[in-house]
Structure 1
Amino acid sequence: MPASVLPLRNSRRGSMRSTGWRIMRQALNSEFSMSVQFFQFESRPQALAAVAQALLLPLQAALRGQGRAQVLLPGGSTPQQLLPLLAALPVDWSRILASPTDERWVAADAADSNLQLLREGLPAARWLDPRQGSEARAAARQWGDRLGDWLPFSAVLLGMGEDGHFASLFPGMPGLASALDVEQPAGCVVGRAPVEPQLRLSLNLPMLLSTRWLGLLAFGARKAELIEQVLADLPETRTLPLHALLHQQRVPPGIYWAP
């Protein structure tokens, strides 16, 4: 059965507190035991501020309960704007273990390294480099093993592309079906992107779902349209990584979107 969807462009409902933020809750069909929350904002700064505040809650809860927290964050230009807000949160980042959701197979200090970008924005966090070996497959295996000791994560934030990818799980790449299979063991895979640098390390969907909080940050009309099509379960979207993410039943994702 397809998901029950209202057109996103006509979906604004009421205000959230005094900020004018908008929220639309997409309840999936009864076939599913969870729901996707779609938070729509008038501006990107508002969306980023909301994501930062949403991340604060699971981080604080983990720090209170176990003395440390674990978070996975995406790379890219959009999440980069979030980092100053995260750095300003009232948490002790020295007690927070952090790692990227994915990484390009480049040097750790390369300009296009996700770790480099994240580490510069959140220098106080305890960062785990995905490059846990000199060869990509060995590094992926060892990175997955190291992260396995962190489970469950306190929070996982994802970005997405207009092609329906998240992390470095790209449509049509070799091994995609296995990487999206929630019945597979949590781990890391070696993937290939359609653009250079093609070789990537990416956490698989089971690993990304091993979390107490899951968020997806997306900007722009094309991404909103794609999210709507995926939630509507249009046949042409069923091979997209985003479809697997939004139709899984393990962790209800919150989508934070602005034009």
Structure 2
Amino acid sequence: MPELQLPEGVNVHSAQSPETLAETLADHVAECLRLRLAEAPAATLVVSGGSTPLPFFRALRKKTLEWGRVLIALADERWVPETDAASNAALVKKELLQAEAAQARFVLFRYSDEEAVEALPKLEAAAAELTDPVDVLVLGMGNDGHTASLFPDAPELNRAMDRRGQQRVMVMTPLSQAHRRVTLTLPVLMQARFKVLHLKGQDKIATLARAAEAPADWSAMPIRAFLQAGLHVYWSP
């Protein structure tokens, strides 16, 4: 793995293949959930969509857990029906909520025929079901430095990134994207007990290196807000 000048306290884990990395990440996530379930009635896992987490989903669903006490949610979603190929919810149901993991409760970002803004009260109510704070968060990152649906070109970015904001969920309309998005806001994401940034490929390392050059400028690359002590970066070529 290339050398990175990341802030102190950011932990980096790497492996030679996505599958090997996925097993390691799944072990760590499962252990975090087990520890939380030993002292609380439920635990929350927030995941991201895309192709990178597929090996992780397939590894995690095989882990021995009290899945019936686990809440699973997406960090963000395109506002499309699950029949659309762009649906992250459909991906999670197909790749993660299988076998024993099918007992987990999938909450948040359920598409309806309403406009996303009109559905916000229902989404806020669903977000309130998540444990506070979220127990495990697994984020991805785009080559523009976005994470979840915190896009640098979204007009709503400042409100979604307000650490004192009261909204758990926001609708995002980034100019670069074909679909409206709904996302958990920065206060919800940042408070997670165990935070992971899961990356694949040299292009993502280059993006992360660029983000680390100016960690305070989150408006240009929102992922910078997460580059703090306690973050775990998992990367494979």
TM-score by length of 2: 0.87
Greater Rg by CA: 1
Tell me which of the two structures has the higher relative contact order, counting C-alpha pairs closer than 8 angstroms and 6 or more residues apart. 2
Q: Tell me the SS of whatever aligns to 1:75.
A: coil
SS of 2:234's equivalent in the other structure is: strand
What is the aligned partner in structure 2 of residue 195 from structure 1? 177
Q: Does 1:46 align with 2:28?
A: no
Aligned-partner Cα distance in 1 for 2:111–2:218: 34
Q: Is there any run of 5+ residues in structure 1 with no aligned partner, and where? A: 1-7, 12-24, 29-34
Aligned positions of 1:1-259 closer than 5 A: 9-10=2-3, 26-28=6-8, 35-123=9-97, 124=102, 125-131=104-110, 134-150=114-130, 151-193=132-174, 194-196=176-178, 198-233=179-214, 239-247=220-228, 252-259=230-237
1:15 aligned residue? none
Percent of aligned pairs with the same amino acid? 28
Separation in structure 2 between the aligned mates of residue 101 and residue 74 of structure 1, nearest angstrom: 6
Query: Where has structure 1 moved over 3 Å in runs of 4 or more?
Result: 234-238
Q: Deviations over 1:169-196 (max 9, x none)?
A: 1112111122122222251111124232
**Alpha-carbon distance in structure 1 between the residues aligned to 2:68 and 2:20:** 27
How many equivalent residue pairs? 229
Distance 1:121 1:183, change over 3 A: same
Contact 1:186–1:204 (CA under 8 A) maintained in structure 2: yes
Which position in structure 2 is the counterpart of 1:3? none
CA contact (8 A) 1:230 1:238 kept: no
Q: Give 1:237 shift.
A: 6.8
Cα distance in structure 1, aligned partners of 2:28 and 2:231: 12
Q: Which moved more, 1:107-116 or 1:217-226?
A: 107-116
After TM superposition, give the deviation of residue 99 of structure 1 in Å: 1.1
Unaligned runs of 5+ in 2: none
Distance 1:77 1:237, change over 3 A: same
